[in-house]
């Protein structure tokens, strides 16, 4: 089987004026992944998805979907993706079938075939019984499922879903998640964003977490827990012997790991509640000369806690 990733970005960067919304993002989504893209509000999720969907140009870096460059081969990308934006206009006065038929026509599906296709996607999202309903009369959960049906109409291989579960009640959310699992079983690759880690952790096989446009984690869901359990990172610079400082820190139970990176000591604390002033105390009392001490700039633990609780900034 072709092993080209479903989605791959290389140093993908997007600025709005001076503001860096997405910063050198390297993301790989493999085929048949149900991939969670997590970050609090303003992290850069929508910007990234809009670039992948060819609606927004990158400022720098590249992005490919099934090997097609989103800038150079935008048409090819549009054929293989189904993009569900965070807010989409629903045509409230239209009937469900009419609406889907309209989008089928946009994708130039012949009229004869459209009826079957519309029936198929309605069945997939569990809306067969609502086929004649007026869209405005559907519940929010049903409208979201209809939005999903719409992006399935041309049978795309890769689905880009921007917070499809946001604003849904728990039951509607569970229904949505069940449909996504079914789509994964059918061989689709799904990239789904959310600002709530717990919403996706049982659903997805892999997740990426971004904050302020930067990737801070990418890998299996379990790895998030491991990384969280590992505690905060504090960076230290000393003007005295770095090896001696390293030994001082390693001797302490509050410190899980010390490594040297570019002349700085990367100190991983054993757990989240440890006050980082312990690092300064140990060094100063041990006779080391401290030049600089700072917590990891992204505040990893804060980000994790925020996305775990679903808090926004």
Q: For binding to ligand ADP (CB under 6 A), which residues are involved?
A: 16, 19, 21, 39, 41-47
Q: Closer CB to Mg ion, residue 160 or residue 283?
A: 160
Residue 41 interface partner, choices Mg ion, ligand ADP, none, CB cut-off 5-8 Å depending on type: ligand ADP
Q: Closer CB to Mg ion, residue 139 or residue 312?
A: 312
Shortest approach of ligand ADP to residue 313 CB, angstroms?
9
Residue 39 interface partner, choices Mg ion, ligand ADP, none, CB cut-off 5-8 Å depending on type: ligand ADP
Shortest approach of Mg ion to residue 49 CB, angstroms?
8
Shortest approach of Mg ion to residue 86 CB, angstroms?
5
Residue 21 interface partner, choices Mg ion, ligand ADP, none, CB cut-off 5-8 Å depending on type: ligand ADP
Q: Closer CB to ligand ADP, residue 85 or residue 104?
A: 85
Dig out the tokens for 300 from the structure: 């990893």
CB 269 within 8 A of CB 231: yes
Residue 47 interface partner, choices Mg ion, ligand ADP, none, CB cut-off 5-8 Å depending on type: ligand ADP
CB 195 within 8 A of CB 41: yes
Query: Is 292 strand, coil or helix?
Result: strand
Q: How far is CA 201 from the centre of its chain?
A: 12
For Mg ion, the binding residues (CB under 5 A) are 45-46, 86
Alpha carbons 283 and 261: distance in angstroms, whole number = 18
Shortest approach of Mg ion to residue 193 CB, angstroms?
7
Angle subtended by helix axes 170-185 and 140-152, to nearest 10: 20
Residue 196 interface partner, choices ligand ADP, Mg ion, none, CB cut-off 5-8 Å depending on type: none
DSSP of 43-74: SSHHHHHHHHTTSS--SEEEEEETTEETTTTH
Residue 96 interface partner, choices ligand ADP, Mg ion, none, CB cut-off 5-8 Å depending on type: none
Shortest approach of Mg ion to residue 281 CB, angstroms?
42
Shortest approach of Mg ion to residue 276 CB, angstroms?
32
Q: Closer CB to Mg ion, residue 85 or residue 156?
A: 85
Q: 34 exposed, middle or buried (CB, 10 Å; 0-12, 13-18, 19+)?
A: buried
Task: Round to the nearest angstrom and report the end-to-end CA distance of the chain.
Answer: 42
Alpha carbons 149 and 243: distance in angstroms, whole number = 60
Which residues lie across from 209 on neighbouring strands? 38, 217
Alpha carbons 132 and 120: distance in angstroms, whole number = 15
Q: Closer CB to Mg ion, residue 27 or residue 236?
A: 27
Q: Closer CB to ligand ADP, residue 39 or residue 147?
A: 39
Residue holding tokens 């139970």?
A: 253
Alpha carbons 119 and 17: distance in angstroms, whole number = 45
Shortest approach of ligand ADP to residue 87 CB, angstroms?
11
Residue 43 interface partner, choices ligand ADP, Mg ion, none, CB cut-off 5-8 Å depending on type: ligand ADP
Q: Closer CB to ligand ADP, residue 195 or residue 252?
A: 195
């Amino acid at each position: 089987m072709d092993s080209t990733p479903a989605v791959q970005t290389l140093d993908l960067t997007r600025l709005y004026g001076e503001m860096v919304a997405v910063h050198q993002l390297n993301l790989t989504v493999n085929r048949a992944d149900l991939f969670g893209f997590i970050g609090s509000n303003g992290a850069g999720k929508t910007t990234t998805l809009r670039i992948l969907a060819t609606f927004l140009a990158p400022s720098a870096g590249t992005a490919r979907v099934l090997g097609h460059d989103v800038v150079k081969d935008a048409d090819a990308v549009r054929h293989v993706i189904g993009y569900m934006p965070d807010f989409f206009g629903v045509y409230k006065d239209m009937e469900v079938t009419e609406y889907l038929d309209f989008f089928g026509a946009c994708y130039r599906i012949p009229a004869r075939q459209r009826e079957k296709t519309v029936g198929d996607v309605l069945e997939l999202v569990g809306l067969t019984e609502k086929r004649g309903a007026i869209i405005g009369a559907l519940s929010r959960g049903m409208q979201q499922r209809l939005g999903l049906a719409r992006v399935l109409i041309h049978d795309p291989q890769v689905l880009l879903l921007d917070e499809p579960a946001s604003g849904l009640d728990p039951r509607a959310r569970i229904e949505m998640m069940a449909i996504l699992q079914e789509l994964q079983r059918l061989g689709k690759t799904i990239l789904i964003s959310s600002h709530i880690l717990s919403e996706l952790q049982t659903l997805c096989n892999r997740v990426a977490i971004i904050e302020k446009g930067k990737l801070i984690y990418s890998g299996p869901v379990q790895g998030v827990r491991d990384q969280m359990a590992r505690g905060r990172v504090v960076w230290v610079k000393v003007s005295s012997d770095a090896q001696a400082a390293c030994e001082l820190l390693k001797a302490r139970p509050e410190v899980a790991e010390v490594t040297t990176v570019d002349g700085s000591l990367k100190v991983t604390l054993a757990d989240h509640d440890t006050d980082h002033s312990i690092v300064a105390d140990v060094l100063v009392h041990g006779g080391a000369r401290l030049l600089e001490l700072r917590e990891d700039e992204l505040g990893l633990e804060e980000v994790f806690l925020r996305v775990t609780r679903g808090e926004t900034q």
